[in-house]
Amino acid sequence: MTGKAQVGTYWSHRDLQLPVEAFMLGDRDRDHLSIRPLSLDDVPAQLLISGDSTLFLAPMSLDFWTIPEKKSWHFGVLPLIDVGVGYSSQANEVYNAGAGFATQIRYGKKWSLYADFQGGVERAPGYVQDFVDSLGIIPSRGRNLGKDEQLAFLMPTARLNFEASEYFNFELGYARNFIGQGHRSTFLSDVSYNNPYFKFTTDVWHFKYVNIYSALRDVRRDPTDPGSYENKYTATHYLSYAVSPRFNIGLFETIVWQGRDTLSNRGFDPNYLNPIIFYRPVEFSIGSPDNVLIGLDMSLKVGRKSVIYTQLLFDEFLLSAFRERNGWWGNKWSAQLGIKAFDALAVKGLRLQAEFNLARPFTYTHGSVLQNFGHFNQPLAHILGANFYEGLAFAYYEKDRWYVDAMWMYAEYGRDPDSLNLGGNIFRSYVNPSQQFDNEIGQGIKNTVFNQKITLGRMINPSLNLRLAFSYTYRRHEAEGFGTNAEHILGLHFSSSIYNNYRDF
């Protein structure tokens, strides 16, 4: 790796992280690209240069505008903007208007505080409005604070970092984390709303070991009433081993438990603070009914421009039932396989990616609904939850700051009829499944979705992901017994996107 950079984390948006990944694929160093957002320590220093934000104040790295330094203190501020207008064949006029600011405070070489605050209003396309109407939240942005058909959100983010040494980093945050190299993750993704967490990272030799302790919210009862929310917690660890500069393998484990039940107000369980052992023995030792998920991922660099990646997660699994192929409901697992290529087909600036994801029925569910793998009415892993197949393809080409970006998504998934429990809803208990055997992916009410988006734009400031772009989206959704719904969406956007905002479902 090219030297130490700064304490803190890099931008979360994949458009900002992918160029870093492309650079790192081309070197001959061992890395840990599945742990995101990337640590600034892991980003080559030459990529952290100032960009174009010289309009008002002198720039510092990552394009923050600096305020005059005082001794060991460094201060930076940055405006954020997200505005757009468009048309939907289902919702007619659509628009969004958002703004915010980010600040970076550093003390010496060991302390860093990043914080931003964003808010805005939106009139959304029809399929997004249907999502909000059914769940009471805006995708990736939490509770809907608007009325009628105008959506509104507020989203604060904060990360306080302390680098105790070159081996140990501690982070207290209100944000999101992601584990994996895909567009999706079957382990932990940034699909849902921000949550408070404590993370510490150990980076020794070829290993990187991450522990994350999170506080989550179950808001099923009434998303509009914070007083009705239920607390739950997760303890997660992920061990990444760079076997060689080309090959990485990772082990994932997380446990979910509810803050209180009918017997006690349990709160955060200190039994799970042990950072160096697997949680399953702890769970058995305390007679716990908590939800444990384990997984394995691998990635292989092919040449200097491509990477193949995969994930396999087990929620519950019985080998004998798997061998018999009897569709036992308790065999709950998900998987991912993908490939990314930079400067693909020997064309400089062309990026291609293809990915396939699936999850068995009942994956990520639990007997107690409060112990499912979800937060703020959205999954913590894949955006479709469980009981689905999905294929994704991406093509991106950039030259002289002009770019074309294309995305194709196709999915088949099953949803539960009101009277049956077929494993299509992770926010439903798996107690009393409608059938013990013969469960298969897509059972229940069959849904198919085709979502295609093509964008033509101009990069205004690469370091901030500030873009002026025109986009066309076509989405076709067919639900068995409910007909077909097709929507065409046109949009013109001017935005500095630093977080992923998932609308590809």
Place of tokens 């870093």: 20
Residue 372 has pLDDT above 90, yes or no: yes
pLDDT of residue 55: 35
- State the burial class of residue 439 (Cβ atoms within 10 Å of its Cβ: 0-12, 13-18, 19+): buried
Max alpha carbon distance in the chain (Å)? Answer: 69
pLDDT of residue 58: 37
Each residue of 339-362: pLDDT tens digit? 999 999 999 999 999 999 999 999
Q: Residue 225 falls within a domain, yes or no?
A: yes
Each residue of 399-438: pLDDT tens digit? 999 999 999 999 999 999 988 999 999 999 999 999 999 9
Residue 293 has pLDDT above 80, yes or no: yes
Q: Residue 504 falls within a domain, yes or no?
A: no
Q: Please, what is the average pLDDT of the chain?
A: 90
Stretch among 5-9, 392-396, 498-502 having the lowest mean pLDDT: 5-9
Each residue of 451-495: pLDDT tens digit? 999 999 999 887 778 899 999 999 999 999 999 999 999 999 999
pLDDT of residue 1: 39
Q: Residue 271 falls within a domain, yes or no?
A: yes
pLDDT of residue 193: 97
Residue 281 vs residue 4, higher pLDDT: 281
Residue range 15-22: mean pLDDT, rounded: 88
Kindly state the percentage of the chain with pLDDT values over 90: 70
CATH of the domain at 143: 2.40.160
User: What is the residue range of 473's domain?
Assistant: 14-496
Task: Tell me the C-alpha distance between 24 and 217, whole Å.
Answer: 36
Q: Residue 9 falls within a domain, yes or no?
A: no
DSSP character string of 354-401: EEEEEE-TTTT--SSGGGSSEETTEESS-TT-SSEEEEEEEEEEEETT
The closest of 345, 418, 357, 419 to 387, measured between CA atoms, is: 357
Split at pLDDT 50, 70, 90, the class of 312 is very high
Each residue of 129-148: pLDDT tens digit? 999 999 999 999 999 999 88
Q: Residue 397 falls within a domain, yes or no?
A: yes
Q: Residue 501 falls within a domain, yes or no?
A: no
Q: Residue 318 falls within a domain, yes or no?
A: yes
Q: Tokens in use for 402?
A: 């002009």
Stretch among 83-92, 109-118, 265-274 having the lowest mean pLDDT: 265-274
Residue 285 has pLDDT above 70, yes or no: no
Each residue of 174-195: pLDDT tens digit? 999 999 999 999 999 999 999 9
253: amino acid identity, one letter:
E
Stretch among 107-121, 252-266, 298-312, 348-362 having the lowest mean pLDDT: 252-266
Residue 51 has pLDDT above 60, yes or no: no
pLDDT of residue 317: 79
DSSP character string of 258-280: ESB-SS-B--S-GGGG-SSS-HH
pTM reported for the whole predicted model = 0.93
Split at pLDDT 50, 70, 90, the class of 274 is confident
Residue 93 vs residue 69, higher pLDDT: 93
Residue 277 has pLDDT above 70, yes or no: no
b/e burial code for range 466-485 (CB count within 10 A of at least 16 → b): bbebebebebebeeeeeeee
Q: What total number of domains does the chain contain? A: 1
pLDDT of residue 59: 38
Residue 52 has pLDDT above 60, yes or no: no
Contact (Cβ atoms closer than 8 angstroms) between residue 153 and residue 119: yes
Residue 378 vs residue 10, higher pLDDT: 378
Q: Residue 442 falls within a domain, yes or no?
A: yes
Question: Cβ of 226: how many Cβ atoms within 10 Å?
Answer: 10
